[in-house]
Amino acid sequence: MTLLAPSILAADFSKLGEETRAIAQAGADWIHLDVMDGHFVPNISFGPAVVKALRPWTDKVFDVHLMIAPADPYLAAFAEAGADAITVHVEAGPHIHRSLQTIRGLGKRAGVALNPGTLASAIEPLLDMVDLVLVMTVNPGFGGQSFIHSSLETVARVKAMTAGRSIDISVDGGITPETAGPAASAGANILVAGSAAFKGGPTQYEKNVAAIREAAQAATGRDGVRC
Ligand code: DX5
Ligand code: ZN
């Protein structure tokens, strides 16, 4: 089954609580929270205080994507704020192994993210320590960018590498009803979508979520098996 994780980066920041609840009620499976530091990526978004403030608005899985370096000093704060999954970038520092150990030690799902320029093999030594691999399908930092098709090769490699393990594979960036199918076919079971999920405002959320989900299901079959 393909899950949809709308990114609140594309929501109306002046009413993030209402937006989070609205997208959850519109059929989101997880809520994706993009944390940016203006250092690892050229943009700044929000930190653990915002994650904590949003936690009461839904009981959906909070999928926190850290685009920050260093990440380690902040992992406990995000766990305490209510993250269910915490993803760190393999490019964000020399001690990714330690970061993943820390996340698991905090009792959270540990995720590792790969930028479009990073080989899938970079995470091979980490497979025993991760619950989620996030493949960036744009360069991280901004919503609304175009999907990088060559990233699908990375998704397929991660899929092959993780065969037989219970590791989720998510794709993040430029996911629309057009790109959801190819991403799901390549092996992604979690689709992160910002602009395509939130476009048009709350009255459109149910339609937006359904369009992305249906495109993924059309490409993979309703039970998530490739066809
Ligand atoms: C990019 C973020 C993404 C982004 C997706 O750095 O990690 O989650 O918000 O936004 P869209 O779907 O608009 O590309
Ligand atoms: Zn993200």
Per-residue model confidence as pLDDT tens digits over 91-120: 999 999 999 999 999 999 999 999 999 999
Q: Give the residue, by CA position, lying nearest to ligand 1 atom 6.
A: 140
Q: Give the residue, by CA position, lying nearest to ligand 1 atom 9.
A: 143
pLDDT score at 221: 83
Q: Which domains does the chain have, with CATH numbers?
A: 3-220 (3.20.20.70)
Q: What is the DSSP letter of 146?
A: P
Q: Give the residue, by CA position, lying nearest to ligand 1 atom 4.
A: 143
Catalytic residue ranges: 34, 172
For residue 145, which atom of ligand 1 is closest to its CA? 14
Q: Is 80 left (phi over 0), alpha (psi -120 to 50) or beta?
A: alpha
What pairs with residue 169 in β-bridges? 133
| CA of 225 relative to ligand 2 center, distance in Å | 25
Using pLDDT thresholds of 50, 70 and 90, give the confidence band for residue 170.
very high
pLDDT score at 227: 39
For residue 41, which atom of ligand 1 is closest to its CA? 6
Peptide bond into 70 cis (omega under 30): yes
Please compute the mean of the pLDDT values over residues 48-73 and round it to a whole number.
98
Give the separation between CA 139 and CA 71, rounded to whole angstroms: 18
| CA of 90 relative to ligand 2 center, distance in Å | 14
Note the pLDDT tens digit of each residue in 171-185: 999 999 999 999 999
Q: Give the residue, by CA position, lying nearest to ligand 1 atom 3.
A: 173
| CA of 165 relative to ligand 1 center, distance in Å | 27
- Ligand nearest to the backbone CA of 140: 1
Q: What is the pTM of this model?
A: 0.97
Contact 174, 137 (CB under 8 A): yes
Give the separation between CA 127 and CA 133, rounded to whole angstroms: 9
pLDDT score at 43: 98
For residue 195, which atom of ligand 1 is closest to its CA? 13
pLDDT score at 124: 97
